[in-house]
Structures are given as structure tokens and as C-alpha cells.
Amino acid sequence: MSISVISPTGLAAAGTASVGTAPTGSTPTTPIGIVPAGLAIIEEYEGCRLTAYLCPAGIPTIGYGHTGPDLTIEDVGRRTITMAAAEALLESDLRRVGDQVAGACRVSANANQHAAMVSLAFNIGIGNFRKSTVLRAHNRGDTEAAGRAFNLWTKATVRERETERGRKVELPGLVSRRAREAALYLTVVRPEDRTAMPRGFIEEPPIRATPGIAGSGVAAGAGGLAATAEIVRQVGDIGYAASPIADLVLRFGPIVLAVIGAVVIGWIVYRQIRLRQEGWR
């Protein structure tokens, strides 16, 4: 798609954007408000097909990923458009999605962040974008979590035939696209955003701090509870139930185990929520 590029001087003259408006920063952008790198991602992964077709999710599509009420299942394989029409549809779609993304951002986005989020929203739909972890993390100023959260959108409901029920599948193309979008989102725009690269580094964080190890600890704790329950049962089988201590264990053990189990389950749920908020799976 041939779209001229605004010079950095011309963009700077436009001023700094406020919350909910055009993206900030001095990176050159196209007239539709998307940096060339973002436009390249959209064009490369959407591709351009001049005859209407069904996307992997079974949605009628034409041009550069254009969908909508103007395209129906009856158009698939029949309706064709020109290259000029495909470019016009893309420009119109990106202007609309760009405005919707800017309106959803309570924290200003620089040009690269805006382009990455437009590419994501163009692909998953503005409704999904508005409830995404990417947007929530961006709006609380957590750019690292927002960058990670792009990877949460790598699955699609795929139908091999029109009558077949869909199944969620992780698509390699989505994995690759999300990685490109995340990299663009995290790419600095202004010189003052750049940090001098140090030569001395602090040590890696201890392995116990990683999410995987935290999950393993919870699993180990659950295994310990099961082992404790088995020991209590065996004590009863051996015949020590007459002992006052064993009697207390047998009487209150299940209650204690239930309480501990509830605490463990609560911790697992809390940990999963926190990991999702931070952009992890």
C-alpha cells in the first residue's frame, strides 16, 4: 500500500497529544496515524486477497482483512474488488480502529504503542481489545505487562468446514504477529526514553521468584496435604484411634485439611489473577 510518510518535523509541529487523542512522539507516521512499521505488520499478516474468502475463523473477509456487515457468506468466492478498492478499505478501517483505540486509552500512547495496539485491535476486534489485558495494563502505566499480554491473543476458533463446530487453536501466524506487535509496542520513540546500557549487572533474580516455580510450590503443597491425609487414615487403620491424640487428629484432621485446602485454592486463584494482570498466561 503506497502511503506517503510525514516528516518528523511535520509531526512535531502537530504538538503533543493528550489522553484519548492521537499518539505522541516524534516517529514518522502515515497520514492515517500509523507508523510505517505498524502498517507493515498489518499488511504482511493480513495479506491482500481481491476475492472474498473465509478466514480461518470462518468469517467472510476481503482485501486487507476487511470484514463487516457489507460482506456476507454469499459473497465468498464471488465478490471481487480492485487493488485500489482494497487500499481504500484498509485506509478507512485503520482510521476507524485508530480512533477507537485512542478513545480507549486513558494513558497517552506514543506512536509505536498506538500502532501496535491498532494492529492488535484490527485483528481481534475493538470489542475484544477494550476488555484485553493489553489495554488494562497500558492504562495503568505498566508497559512491560502490556507488552507481555500481546501473547495472550494467539488462539482462534477454527472451523475446518462450515458445518463443523469450532475449536480453539494456537496459530503460528498469530504467535509471530503478536511477537512483532509486542516488540513494536516496547520500542522507544523519544531520545529521553532511552537508557544508557550498563556494563555491570546485578545478579539474576532467584529462581524461586519465577511464576513457574511459584506454581510448582503450590503443587508441592497440595501433594503434601494429600500425604498428610493418607497418614491420618493409616494411623486410624493401625488401631491408635483409642489414643486421645489420635482421636483429636481423626476428629479435627478433616476440618483442618479442608481449611488448608481452601487456603491453597484461594492462593492458586489469586496467583493466576496476578499473573494475568502482569501479562503472563
Domain 17-191 in CATH 3.30.70.1400? The answer is: no
Query: Which range has the worst mean pLDDT, 40-44, 111-115, 153-157, 186-190?
Result: 186-190
Mean pLDDT of 44-58: 92
Indicate whether this model's pTM tops 0.75: no
Higher-confidence residue of 277 and 128: namely 128
Check residue 47 and give left, alpha or beta (phi > 0: left; psi -120 to 50: alpha): left
- pLDDT at 232 exceeding the cut of 60: no
pLDDT tens by residue, 263-272: 888 878 777 7
State residue 27's pLDDT score.
59
State residue 19's pLDDT score.
38
Is 120:129 a contact under the CB 8 Å cutoff?
Answer: yes
Residue 18 to residue 131: CA distance in whole angstroms: 22
Pick the catalytic residue from 46, 74, 87, 164. 46
Is 162:60 a contact under the CB 8 Å cutoff?
Answer: no
State residue 272's pLDDT score.
73
State residue 237's pLDDT score.
58
Residue 43 is among the residues annotated as catalytic for this protein:
no
- pLDDT at 129 exceeding the cut of 90: yes
State residue 98's pLDDT score.
96
Percent of residues, the chain, with pLDDT higher than 90: 48
- Residue found under cell 476487511: 66
Is 197:226 a contact under the CB 8 Å cutoff?
Answer: no
- pLDDT at 2 exceeding the cut of 60: no
Q: How confident is the model at residue 101 (pLDDT cuts 50, 70, 90)?
A: very high
Q: Which three cell numbers stand for residue 179?
A: 511477537
Domain spans of the chain?
A: 17-191, 207-277
Residue from 26, 19, 16 nearest 188 by CA? 26
Is 63:50 a contact under the CB 8 Å cutoff?
Answer: yes
Q: Which three cell numbers stand for residue 37?
A: 512499521
Residue 12 to residue 9: CA distance in whole angstroms: 5
- pLDDT at 57 exceeding the cut of 90: no
Pairing state of beta strands 155-158 and 60-63? Answer: unpaired
Q: How confident is the model at residue 233 (pLDDT cuts 50, 70, 90)?
A: low
- pLDDT at 146 exceeding the cut of 70: yes
